Amino acid sequence: MSFQLSANLMLGVGVGKYDHLPTLRNAVGDVEKVGEWLANNGFTQTVIPDMKREEIVERLLEALPADSMRKEGTVLVVLWCGHATQNPNTGNLRLLGCSDRPDAPDLSAITAVQLAELAANSGAAQLLLIVDTCYSGSAVVDVAKVIDAVQAADINRTHRWMGVVASCQDYERAVDGVLAQKLLDLLENGPQQPELRVRWSSYQAGLRGDDLIDALVKEWGKDERQLPKSISAGDPWLVLPNPLFNPDAREQVVEHLLWAARGASPNEAGVWFVGRERYLREIVAWMRGGEPGLCVITGKAGCGKSAVAGRLVSLSNSDERALILEAQGQPLPDLDPGLGAIDAHVQVRGMTLERCSTILSRGLGVVAAGPVQTHYDLLAWASAQERPPAVVVDGLDEAGAEGHRIAGELLRPLSQHAQVVVASRELPGIDGESSLLGALGAPDLLADLDAHPEDTDRDVYEYVVQRLSKGTDNG
């Protein structure tokens, strides 16, 4: 894996042997297995097995002193596996050490809230807390409130995110070993559902914490004796390597753009794209002008930015173009950029500047001047071309703080030598920075999909009518 983090730590507590409770065969082994996987992928791990409360507290304080991870890019994963009980009066979830009694007061146990406070006080920018105990769902909201309160005190930090996963609902007993098995399967193989694999893109080396939680919950079997409970808040960034990442992935229309352009759900047959003619006509005319520059496709979430960008890329790609022509016939000339019109494209959700420029460089055939390819190689190559290459960049707003770097350091200068089409929402700047679209500079063409709501109403109506009249498969 080429995924790198500036600092990453896994802290695991596993308790399987108890003086007053049944033995848990898998608790310690589960923590060790998850810790081993993380250690093999760039994490420093600390595992605390089968200890009493006092010993656990001592080891936790040693491993997570306050502010020890207070810098950008730090990732902390905390996993607790063992027995737990709920205080019948306060509702607090008590995480039990080897010698704790199930009816022990909160003062003589470690509560889930105390564990969360300790983890949050470490200062980690990205925090994933996983609790695999009976009734663990009862602590999710309280734990999240504690972490949020600690993180909110540090308002100048970027990429602050927390995710909390409980192995079962408030009223359920957890089955020993189930959570770790499902988590490790995801970390090693990725999700099975096609729509989830779109978000775990083979072009993306890193995986965001919210995508991991979303896949874990959605792929949990409905017939299980327990169901996980989770919460995610803040600015999610890359926390783990993506098992589906393939640096040599064959160039094709990336999944997100492909399905958006078809107007279909993942793995659904047929091409259902309709409308957006005003904007396609303007963009195609601008591209045919043959001059370098910047085109920005913008609008609120869900307005069809990716669909427009994907339509351009799909009509340029030989395989997708053939499907479109078979399903819908030849598009009108002024709505068709033509076969091969787009030289490279990328969906930058969760990507760094370096990864974005690497994918575009690969699509354009850029050869690095040195041992490591950088965005400067791409800019130098583009400046030497007789014909401005055309590139499409989708989801700039989904690259987090890296979006500003991608916009200002790559796309803005690239637009001096290439035709750059960017699909993105506007996002405000932080700490005096320009807004996201402001970092791109003034566009030569602005396609604001919110500017003509009557077009949107008509396009949605035609889309629905088409789906109803033709059934589920027009391909």
- Which residues 6+ apart lie within 8 Å of 303 measured at CB? 449, 450, 456
Q: Give dist(CA 73, CA 136) in Å, integer.
A: 28
Q: Tokens 């993942």 label which residue?
A: 266
Q: Are residues 160 and 19 in the same domain?
A: yes
Domain of residue 229 covers 7-241
Let me know whether 332 and 194 are in one domain: no
Residues in the chain, total: 475
pLDDT at 137 over 90: yes
Q: Kindly state whether residues 16 and 158 are assigned to the same domain.
A: yes
Q: Is the pLDDT of residue 1 over 60?
A: no
What mean pLDDT is predicted for residues 458-473? Answer: 53
Taking the whole predicted model, whether its pTM rises above 0.85 is answered as no
Q: Which amino acid is at 413?
A: P
Same domain (yes/no): 69, 199: yes
Asked if 303 contacts 450 with a C-beta cutoff of 8 angstroms, the reply is yes
Q: List all residues 6 or more positions away from 393 whose beta carbon is below 8 Å from its beta carbon.
A: 345, 346, 348, 356, 360, 406, 411, 420, 421, 422, 423
Identify the domain boundary among 218, 241, 264: 241
Any domain includes 26:
yes
Assess whether 269 and 177 both reside in one domain: no
Helix ranges (DSSP H) in 329-429: 353-364, 375-383, 402-405, 412-414
For residue 160, what is the domain's CATH number?
A: 3.40.50.1460
Mean pLDDT of 30-37: 96
Q: Do 283 and 146 fall within a single domain?
A: no
Tens of pLDDT, residues 284-301: 999 999 999 999 999 887
Which tens digits make up the pLDDT trace of 53-73? 999 999 999 999 888 888 877
Residue 270 lies in a domain: yes
Q: Which helix (H) or strand (E) holds 74?
A: strand 74-81
SS3 400: coil
Structural domain includes residue 1: no
User: Which of the listed residues 241, 268, 296 is the one where a domain comes to its end?
Assistant: 241
**Are residues 145 and 115 part of one domain?**
yes
Whether residues 297 and 200 share a domain: the answer is no
Q: Crossing angle for the helix pair 305-316 and 277-288, nearest 10 degrees?
A: 50
Highest mean pLDDT among 112-116, 220-224, 259-263, 400-404: 112-116
User: In which band, very low, low, confident or very high, does the pLDDT at 271 lie, cut at 50, 70 and 90?
Assistant: low
Lowest mean pLDDT among 53-62, 194-203, 314-323: 194-203
Domain presence at residue 248: no
**Parallel, antiparallel or unpaired: strands 229-234 and 293-298:** unpaired
Contact in structure between 142 and 170 (CB atoms under 8 Å): no
Instruction: Quick: pLDDT tens for 363-409.
Output: 888 877 766 678 998 999 999 999 999 999 998 988 887 889 999 99
Helices then strands, counting H and E runs in the chain, come out as 17, 16
Q: CA 132, CA 149: separation in Å to the nearest integer?
A: 23
Which band of pLDDT confidence, cut at 50, 70 and 90, is reported for residue 150? confident
Q: Do 74 and 121 reside in the same domain of the chain?
A: yes
Domain tally for the chain?
Answer: 2
User: Are both 232 and 311 inside the same structural domain?
Assistant: no
What DSSP string runs through 210-255? HHHHHHHHHTS-TTSS---EEEEEE---EEEE-TT--TTPPP---H
> Is 21's pLDDT higher than 60?
yes
For residue 402, which amino acid is it? E
Which residues neighbour 329 within 8 Å (Cβ) at sequence distance 6 or greater?
Answer: none
- How confident is the prediction for the chain on average, in pLDDT? 85
| Residue 246 domain flag | no
Among 208, 218, 246, CA closest to 402: 208
Residue reference for tokens 């700039």: 396
Please indicate, yes or no, whether residues 216 and 267 belong to a single structural domain of this protein: no
Q: What is the C-alpha separation between 48 and 42, in angstroms, rounded?
A: 19
CATH at 328:
3.40.50.300
Q: pLDDT higher for 91 or 327?
A: 91
**Residue 18 in domain:** yes
Whether residues 177 and 317 share a domain: the answer is no
Q: Using the 3D structure, point to which of 196, 211, 241 is the last residue of a domain.
A: 241
* Residue 469 pLDDT level (bands cut at 50, 70, 90): low
Q: Has residue 2 been placed in a domain?
A: no
28 in any annotated domain:
yes
